[in-house]
Amino acid sequence: MTYAPNLRVPPHGFGRWLARAPRYLYRIGLGRLLGKRFVLLEHQGRRTGVTRQTVLEVVDADSTSLLVAAAWGERSDWFQNVQANPSVAISSGRRRNVRATATALDTSVATKVFERYSVNHKSAARGLAKAFHLPFGDAAAMANLVPVVRLTFDQAF
């Protein structure tokens, strides 16, 4: 995938701090306040091997896996890290450090994910479409810009 010119630049300054604020809620044991719609993903840095943490929105879920999207595209550090080492840990609500395996979905499957997302979470999907200068409901275009990753549990979540 090539980098599209309409990908937003990740936040910096106060916006970066605000984007990372949910991670601090998890660190002080209040991650459950974010509900089941967010997860803390622990992954290994691709170059350093250091454990990294990222809070991600769950765009879809079933009993064996969660689907999350790389909002900053393939340039997302966490996305590049799980491509290099797909073994991750997930925390959500009161569940902590559930082992999982990360797998990037192809764009045809990701398109279906974004179609369901725009039905189930209309306002969030509108905001995401606006951020990428796409018309609301253009799931195929969204899937071309935003990779979707399946986090498959190694044990029951």
Distance separating alpha carbons of residues 144 and 29, to the nearest angstrom: 36
pLDDT computed for residue 2 by the predictor: 43
pLDDT computed for residue 96 by the predictor: 84
pLDDT computed for residue 131 by the predictor: 81
Ordered domains of the chain (ranges, CATH): 14-109+146-153 (2.30.110.10)
**Of residues 100, 70, 102, the one with CA closest to residue 83:** 102
User: And the tokens for 157?
Assistant: 């979540």
pLDDT computed for residue 17 by the predictor: 56
pLDDT computed for residue 18 by the predictor: 58
Hey, what's the torsion of the CAs at 117, 121, 127, 131, to 10 degrees? -20
The dihedrals phi and psi of 82, each to the nearest 5 degrees, come to -75, -20
pTM score = 0.82
**Per-residue confidence in pLDDT tens, the chain, 157 aa:** 444 444 555 665 655 555 666 776 777 676 777 677 889 999 999 999 999 999 998 999 998 999 999 988 898 999 999 999 999 999 887 788 899 999 999 999 999 999 999 999 999 899 888 888 899 989 999 999 999 999 999 986 5
